């Protein structure tokens, strides 16, 4: 083989290696063929999302039992209060100053609706006396986040490889919100762009790494809560 042929062969081999490395660098952090076992954090995040839905149902239907049950779930799961901080995006002033989805606030509304019902009031008393679980490993929750009209919020979070990751978000009903999840390489991993402002994403990372959660508002200002493990 001539020197020229040798150099060409070496260049081709080098290009092939570079191309392989580039392809590897772009591989998404997603195990498409595996659903990881739900961790305690993922299960707790799902429970909190259920509690939030129960609380909203109780408010809309004046149902004391739904509110009291939601408060019990929130206490039992051990929520890291407002642990999720917006990494990027403009956050507007809250539409309401109270934390409507805290365990205490939900229980207070349930107790008010239970007036005249000794059985429900006794149940509310039991929930009030219960101590919250330790929150070191509890789900991460962001409440009273207001994303402006046609604006967006980003959250940068780390998820463990091989474990099921879950994100839930729900707004106040005033506009359409969409949820997108990207890995550290910019690959779109999961999305929920269905109509409305109740969203969920679940995936299993191939390796432990950072992910960007994006909440995009398609309409007027919306106050939402977001929950993840």
Instruction: Give φ, ψ of 141 to 5 degrees.
Output: -130, 135
In a domain, 191, yes or no: yes
pLDDT by position in tens, the chain (length 229): 555 454 445 544 444 544 444 455 689 999 887 776 677 777 888 888 888 889 989 999 999 999 999 999 888 886 655 567 787 676 565 566 556 778 888 999 999 999 989 999 999 999 988 866 544 456 788 887 899 999 999 999 999 998 899 999 989 889 999 999 999 999 999 999 999 999 999 999 999 999 999 999 999 999 998 998 8
Contact status, residue 70 vs residue 106, Cβ threshold 8 Å: yes
In a domain, 34, yes or no: no
In a domain, 71, yes or no: yes
The 10 Å Cβ neighbour count of residue 191 is 15
In a domain, 192, yes or no: yes
Pairwise CA distance, residues 156 & 125, whole Å: 39
Count: domains in the chain: 1
Supply the range of the domain harboring residue 143. Answer: 40-228
In a domain, 25, yes or no: no
User: What is the side-by-side strand order in the sheet with 165-170?
Assistant: 140-147, 222-228, 165-170, 198-203
| CATH number, domain with residue 185 | 2.60.120.380
In a domain, 155, yes or no: yes
In a domain, 200, yes or no: yes
Pairwise CA distance, residues 122 & 187, whole Å: 51
Pairwise CA distance, residues 105 & 157, whole Å: 28
In a domain, 50, yes or no: yes
Distance from the Cα of residue 117 to its chain's centroid: 36
Contacts of 212 by beta carbon, 8 Å cutoff, 6+ apart: 87, 154, 155, 156, 157, 181, 182, 183, 184
pTM of the predicted protein model = 0.72
Task: Pick the closest to residue 227 from 73, 41, 99 (CA basis).
Answer: 41
The 10 Å Cβ neighbour count of residue 112 is 12
62: helix, strand or coil:
coil
């Amino acid at each position: 083989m001539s020197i020229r042929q040798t150099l060409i062969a070496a260049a081709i081999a080098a290009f092939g290696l570079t191309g392989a490395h580039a392809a590897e660098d772009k591989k998404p952090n997603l195990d498409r063929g595996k659903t990881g076992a739900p961790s305690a954090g993922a299960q707790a995040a799902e429970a909190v999302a259920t509690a939030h839905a129960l609380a909203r149902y109780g408010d809309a239907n004046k149902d004391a039992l739904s509110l009291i049950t939601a408060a019990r779930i929130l206490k039992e799961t051990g929520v890291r209060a407002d642990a999720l901080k917006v990494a990027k995006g403009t956050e507007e002033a809250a539409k309401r100053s109270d934390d409507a989805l805290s365990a205490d606030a939900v229980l207070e509304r349930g107790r008010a609706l239970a007036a005249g019902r000794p059985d429900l009031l006794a149940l509310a008393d039991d929930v009030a006396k219960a101590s919250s679980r330790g929150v070191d490993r509890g789900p991460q929750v962001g409440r009273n986040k207001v994303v402006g009209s046609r604006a967006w919020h980003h959250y940068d979070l780390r998820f463990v490889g091989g474990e099921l990751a879950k994100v839930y978000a729900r707004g106040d009903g005033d506009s359409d919100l969409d949820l997108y999840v990207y890995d550290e390489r910019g690959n779109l991993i999961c999305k929920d762009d269905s109509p409305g402002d109740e969203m969920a994403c679940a995936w299993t990372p191939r390796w432990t790494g950072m992910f960007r959660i994006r909440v995009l508002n398609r309409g007027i200002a919306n106050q939402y809560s977001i929950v993840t493990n």
